[in-house]
Amino acid sequence: MKSREEFDSFYENELKRKIEELEAQRIAISEQFSFKRYRKNLMWLGILFVALVIGRSFVPAIPEQVVFLFPAIVVYAIGAAIYIFYKRANKFKPIKLDYQQTVITKIISFVDPNLKYDPTAGITPQEFDSGRLFGHYTSYKSEDLVHGTSNEMEIRMSDISCTRRKSSSGKNSSSSTVTIFKGFYIISKLNENIPSGVIIKPSLGIGDAFKGLASTFLGSQLVESIAEKFSLNDVEVGDPEFDKQYHIKSVNPEVAKELLTPRFIQLIKTFQKEAALPVSLSFFDSNVHIAFSGINLFEADPYTSFVEKDISKQYFNYLNLAYGVVEAIRASR
Find, among 272, 300, 137, 141, the residue nearest to 202 by Cα: 272
Q: How far is CA 16 from the centre of its chain?
A: 24
The whole-number pLDDT of residue 156 equals 93
Q: What is the pTM of this model?
A: 0.76
Q: pLDDT value at position 189?
A: 85
Distance CA 273, CA 253 (A): 26
Q: CA geometry: angle at 216 spanning 210 and 221, to 5°?
A: 105
C-alpha 108/C-alpha 146 separation (Å) is 8
Query: Residue 93: what pLDDT?
Result: 92
Give every CB contact of residue 150 below 8 A, 6+ residues apart in sequence. Answer: 112, 114, 115
Run of H or E including 145: strand 139-150
Q: Cα–Cα distance between 291 and 322 in angstroms, integer? A: 10
- What pLDDT shows up at residue 4? 83
| Residue pair 235/248 in contact by the 8 Å Cβ criterion | yes
Gap between the Cα atoms of 8 and 200, Å rounded: 34
pLDDT in tens, the chain (333 residues): 788 889 999 999 999 999 999 999 999 999 999 888 899 999 999 999 899 888 888 888 888 888 888 999 999 999 999 999 999 999 999 999 999 889 999 999 998 899 999 998 999 999 999 999 988 899 999 999 999 988 778 899 999 999 998 876 666 667 788 999 998 999 988 766 676 788 998 876 544 444 444 334 434 444 444 444 445 678 887 888 888 888 888 877 888 878 888 888 888 887 777 767 778 889 888 889 999 888 777 778 888 888 876 778 888 887 887 777 777 777 765
